[in-house]
Structure 1
Amino acid sequence: MVNFARKSNILAFNFETPTPGSAQDKIRMSARGLRLAHNMTQQALAEKSGVPLSTLKRFEQSGEISLAALLAIAGALGAMDAFENLFPKPAAESLEELGSARVDRKRAGKR
């Protein structure tokens, strides 16, 4: 990763293409860091989130976790807003596209 930014600058250049593994690693490290910033033990977070302690420990070590458990942990840490923009709607690229925008699709078209 190339980072031209100073520590105080929130803008950084990252020329690496993220992989599922690197994203998984970043999520587990961020969750652990947020837990520690809240001064919570793994046991306290497990109790607050309803996620078994063994699941939380495995997640912090390997990144392996179910979506339901991840959402429960995020909720307990006050980080649910991070999921709001996980799959953003595509923006219109022209006035024509904007004018012909339809109601949200429920299914993909036939091929």
Structure 2
Amino acid sequence: MSKYSATKTPTVVMDELVQKVQQLRKKNGVSQLELSKRSGVSFGSIKRFETTGQISLESLLKLAYFFNRLEDFTSVFQIDTNLETVAKLFSNKTR
């Protein structure tokens, strides 16, 4: 995928998540160590996440909960309830 593509790559989304978490942490005046203690996510996981973007889903959700942003995840993989869209999935024309 080209870096000029309109569609974001997983790496781009991951980098954006890292930046957002860092911004939230700094805006709230919380160190990595304090975030670890208060969120229940290990210091190593937080440090690794902010350095490489790697983190478990459970730890990411704990960070979202700490920052009162857990609701942001409710739209991830949201099922489209528009029946026309669902019908197109089973149409012979798309196969």
Tell me the TM-score normalised to structure 2 length: 0.78
Within-5 A mapping of 1:62-101: 62-92=52-82, 94=84
How many pairs does the alignment contain? 82
* SS at 2:16 equivalent: helix
Q: Does residue 19 in structure 1 map to residue 9 in structure 2? A: yes
Q: Which runs of 4+ in 1 moved over 3 A?
A: none
Larger Rg over CA atoms: 1
Q: By how many angstroms is 1:92 displaced?
A: 1.3
Structure 1 vs Structure 2 CA RMSD? 1.8
Match of 1:68, as an amino acid?
E
Q: Aligned partners of 1:16, 1:83: CA distance in 2, in Å?
A: 22
- Hey, which of these two has a bigger chunk of helix by percent? 2
Question: What is the aligned-residue identity percentage?
Answer: 30
Unaligned runs of 5+ in 2: 88-95
Q: Aligned partners of 1:37, 1:91: CA distance in 2, in Å?
A: 37
